[in-house]
Chains A and B, each alone.
Chain A
Amino acid sequence: MIFLDLALKNLKRHWIRSLLATTGIIIGVLAIAALGIMGNSINLLVANVISDVGDTVIITPHVAAGTGDFFGDPRRAVQSTISQSELDRIARVSGQNRVIPVQQSAEEISFGDESGYATIIGLAADDSNYLLDVREGQYLRQNSPGCLVGHYLAREWALSPGSRVMIGNESVRVSGILEERGFAIDINPDYALVVDEGWFASHFSRSDEYDQVIIKVENINDIDTVKQAIDHQMNRRDTVVDITDSRDLLTQYQQIYDQITVFLIGIGAISLVVAAVSILNVMIISVTERIREIGILRSFGATRRQVLVMFLYESMILGVVGSAVGGVLSVLGGILISGVAIEVLTTGTSFGENATIFDFNAILYVSFAILFGIVVSTVSGFYPAWKASNMTPIEALRHE
């Protein structure tokens, strides 16, 4: 233990230098762990939101760009809706699964002193309870001029069932308030009004054309079959519709966020490399100025191994202390950064309010960062230590 003792004494003798090297490690570990946690939090957030709608296939009109030549087919560029006949063909190959055509537009709405633009979603009345959950009041009834109000819009404007809202110049009675739905790939009604398709058609003078078609797949394993059938039916000659499902989107998101996480950890790793260089520097200085001391130790019977161990202890102490402090700080920092990131990324939306920040992965990132910190410090201390131990005693003693 005399070598551990000596290592500690030497670190204390040059405490500012030791402190600086430790700070480098702390920052490196902190960066890796905190950025890892942050990436992980974003990932968790997105996964939570998207997995809510795992049984959904979305069909949207294929927008011209990219169909063969540079400008695409001009007819398709204009026609960016799905027609009734196309809908029928989709329905024909969708089997037992419920096919829900959706129309969307925007309109000026007002209530009391409040006014603004909102998305208006048109649904068949009997589809509304498939897609949406009413928190208060009732679902839409066919051809009735009622509307459903999204969670946030209702909260901000203090709407309740029975309130009357102006959509354009038509007064519509609120029949129900929706549960919060969050971000989804199909429809986002939290800040919108949902109306019956008949009312939508007459108000916007649009019928038999749809903005998207949602298929609720009863058995989640059928998703690929359904997608293939629709693709085969619709896109045989030209690409008419785009077909996607929430799992696709989830995978895409996950790929993106995995890359972000790797990128963030990369930044952290760079700072750890910088810290490693500073430890290497400290250790080289420490060895160089103590070459004579090494000679003395060797002349009194310290073996090469013992000299090596003494210097390794020094760099390991720096590494362990730095990594431990960095680990603790990164947990705190991770909470802070994740909080801020979620706040920034989800401003004005509902999702993420209950997002989990810490899970097993976050702990893994912290452990990884601590381990990495210790390994990097030990490795960067190894070269000077090895150099010190390999000098012959006489070389070391003669050193001035």
Chain B
Amino acid sequence: MENPSEPEPVMRFTDVTKVYPLPAGDVVALNKISLYIAQGEFIAIMGPSGSGKSTLLNLMGCLDTPTEGELYIKGKRVKGMTDEELTSLRRDHIGFIFQQFNLIPLLTALENVQYPFILKTGAADSKGRSIEVLESMSLETNLFSHKPSELSGGQQQRVAIARALVNDPEILLADEPTGNLDTKTGSAIMELLSDLNRNRGKTIIMVTHDPKIAEYAHRTIRIVDGKIV
């Protein structure tokens, strides 16, 4: 798998271990995982519950840090990064899509999308970048001013994807993106993600239970008991 002549992978894991210390004894969530993800890949991570797939995704998103081993994202070594550095890595290069959508209930659809943009630029979105992204998600304009609670699941996930894309990150991390949607809406969302991968070159890493959903990916990584099988 390793080939030094290839361009720097988007992600490189070398013997990454993640241990959660619990009173009842340490839980090894990931056990010496090594993997490479190249620019433009669409990867599905599959495995039974508790196998460590979400932990893997969280490490990829710098939401969590490895206990042991090395992790490089966009060629940058994650270990030893300050919280500030991890935060800007997330903000500038990674977009998250969650099963629960995780929109901020106080804010309208548009404000939810604007938020990461303002965090990155420190200025208001005067050029309409957020509107542009929302429109590209085929969300009706009259819904932009709606609160998340006034939107359907599919609409909420479109807003969430728009939010993940607003800072134009290279990597999209999706944790069961269709888990809370019906089959039809789920398929539409998957078409959207495929399109982002195909036509806009986004690297997409997606955790899923559903083999049908995993078919959209080019490569599937299976995890059992914290190990890639």
Contacts and interface: CB of A to CB of B under 8 A. Distances in A.
B96 interface: yes
Nearest to B164: A300
Contacts of B167: 301
Interface size class on chain B is 20 to 34
A67 interface: no
Interface string A296-336: 11111111101000000000000000000000000000000
B83 interface: yes
A9 B61 CA distance: 29
Interface string A375-400: 00000000000000000111001000
B162 to A, nearest CB: 12
Interface stretch (B31-39, B101-109, B208-216): B101-109
A6 interface: yes
Interface string B92-131: 1000100000111111000000011011100000000000
Q: Find the residue from A299, A306, A393, A394 having the highest chain B CB count within 10 A.
A: A299
Interface size class on chain A is 20 to 34
B90 interface: yes
B74 to A, nearest CB: 15
Contacts of A293: 104-105
Contacts of A300: 90-91, 96, 115-116, 119, 163
B104 A303 contact: no
B106 A10 contact: yes
Q: Find the residue from B84, B96, B119, B163 having the highest chain A CB count within 10 A.
A: B119
A292 interface: yes
A2 B83 contact: no
B206 to A, nearest CB: 16
A394 B61 CA distance: 10
A160 to B, nearest CB: 78
Contacts of B88: 301
* Secondary structure type dominating chain B contacts: helix
A258 B105 CA distance: 53
A13 interface: yes
Q: Find the residue from A10, A298, A304 having the highest chain B CB count within 10 A.
A: A298
Given A296-B102, A392-B64, A394-B58, A303 B83 contact: yes
B63 A301 contact: no
Contacts of A302: 87, 119
A25 B105 CA distance: 28
Contact of B90 (A10, A301, A306, A397): A301
A13 B87 contact: no
Interface in A1-55: 2, 6, 9-10, 13
A306 B96 contact: no
A298 B62 CA distance: 11
Contacts of A296: 102-104
Interface of A: 2, 6, 9-10, 13, 292-293, 295-304, 306, 392-394, 397
17 contacts: A6-B104, A9-B106, A299-B61, A300-B90, A300-B119, A300-B163, A301-B91, A301-B92, A301-B116, A301-B120, A303-B83, A303-B84, A304-B87, A392-B63, A393-B63, A393-B64, A394-B63
The 3 closest A-B pairs by CB, nearest first: A301-B91, A300-B116, A394-B63
